[in-house]
Structure 1
Amino acid sequence: MSETGCHRRSVETTIRPPSNRVSPRAVRYWTVRAVPGWLVVTAVQVIWLVSSGQDVAAHVAGLVVTALLAAAHLIVMPRWRFRVHRWETTPEAVYTQSGWFKQEWRIAPVSRIQTVDSDRGPFEQIFGLSNVTVTTASAAGPLKISGLDKETAQRVVSELTASAQATAGDAT
């Protein structure tokens, strides 16, 4: 017992990635979402090739390089993101890990949660995906869990809302 008469609990925290992966459908979603950018780059190169009529070999080489880069990006990026993107909620905190090129790991105590939202854009609706946004008083901004299936997102929103309401604290 300490001098104040209170027992101190020793809690060991292990730094580890959050345990839950996003929906496997997120791989297809991220792939489809990346395609328009590559189509724009390719269209610009084709227009330049057709309109200039000069140095055709260099333009064709540029198109080949673009096609190879696009293929590599569309194959690697979504799968890499799927391996990295993780999330977890516990009675004490929300954990997120995201990114593919620049990776970010965030933890927010449940006592700091101010709002919990879910959203689904048109393409996410096509793929049956939802996003959960957890807003806290942090200057770093909200935590976002992207690529969840609709049912999981609804469950997470309900559970986090209930946990935040049951947790003592002022969420600031």
Structure 2
Amino acid sequence: MMRLHPRVRLLWSLRAVVAATVVGALAAVLDRFVLEQGLWLPVAVFLAVLFFGVTVALLRYRYWRYEVRDDSLYLERGVFTRVRTVVPFVRIQHVDSSRSPVERLAGLATTVVYTAGSRGADVTIPGLSASGSDDLQERIKRLAIRAEGDDAV
């Protein structure tokens, strides 16, 4: 089983910091104009959201795994609800590798696997190194082409 790049923990934790800042600012505005409890309420809200967000980010990294098997891509993820996904290579339509500006700063990338299907027809593998994402994209592409030949009539 493969794990995501450890740097993805930093990105997910930074998202938690941004969310905590926004929620803390909203709590400060609410407190200033409605509740009038003092500075402790927005600070407590900020710290609670920050703690929860960073904890979820670290647990998310801990439980995120994937494996490229002979005939399928297997993913295991989820903090509160564990999700196990098996994507047969014969169902794969195409594979993308993307890098957002934040991912580029961190040296990370995301691989997206698009499948034939009606429900949630794509699978995303975040937090890969840039070269790892490109390698995974190429490997899945080759295995999908081979599987298509095996499945042909």
Q: Same fold by TM (over 0.5)?
A: yes
Write the mapping of 1:8-19 to structure 2, written as runs, cut at 5 A: 19=1
Q: Could you tell me how far 1:146 is from its partner in structure 2?
A: 1.0
Native 8 Å contact 2:16 2:50 kept in 1: no
Do structure 1's residue 95 and structure 2's residue 77 form an aligned pair?
A: no
Q: Could you tell me how far 1:63 is from its partner in structure 2?
A: 2.0
Number of matched residues? 149
Partner SS, residue 151 of structure 2: coil
Q: What is the identity, as a one-letter code, of the residue corresponding to 2:78?
A: G
Q: Could you tell me how far 1:95 is from its partner in structure 2?
A: 0.8
Match of 1:150 among 130, 133, 136: 130
Q: Distance in 1 between matches of 2:50 and 2:14?
A: 12
- The residue number in structure 2 matching 1:62 is 41
Do structure 1's residue 39 and structure 2's residue 38 form an aligned pair?
A: no
- The residue number in structure 2 matching 1:134 is 113
Q: What is the identity, as a one-letter code, of the residue corresponding to 2:77?
A: S
Higher alpha-carbon deviation: 59-68 or 113-122? 59-68
Q: Could you tell me how far 1:61 is from its partner in structure 2?
A: 4.7
Do structure 1's residue 164 and structure 2's residue 144 form an aligned pair?
A: yes
- The residue number in structure 2 matching 1:73 is 52
Native 8 Å contact 2:20 2:47 kept in 1: no
Identity among equivalent positions (%) equals 26
Per-residue displacement from partner, 1:55-87 (whole Å, max 9, x unpaired)? 533x54532431331232243111101111111
Q: Could you tell me how far 1:89 is from its partner in structure 2?
A: 0.6
Q: Distance in 2 between matches of 1:74 and 1:109?
A: 33
Higher alpha-carbon deviation: 114-123 or 134-143? 134-143
Q: Could you tell me how far 1:98 is from its partner in structure 2?
A: 2.3
Q: Distance in 1 between matches of 2:93 and 2:46?
A: 45
- The residue number in structure 1 matching 2:90 is 111
Q: Distance in 2 between matches of 1:75 and 1:32?
A: 8
Native 8 Å contact 2:67 2:74 kept in 1: yes
Higher alpha-carbon deviation: 67-76 or 118-127? 67-76
Q: Distance in 1 between matches of 2:43 and 2:88?
A: 49
Native 8 Å contact 2:19 2:49 kept in 1: no
Q: Which has the higher helix share?
A: 2
Match of 2:101 among 122, 126, 132: 122
Do structure 1's residue 27 and structure 2's residue 24 form an aligned pair?
A: no
Partner SS, residue 148 of structure 1: strand
Q: What is the identity, as a one-letter code, of the residue corresponding to 2:4?
A: V
Q: Higher Cα Rg: structure 1 or 2? A: 1
Native 8 Å contact 1:130 1:150 kept in 2: yes
Structure 1 residue ranges without an equivalent (≥5): 1-18
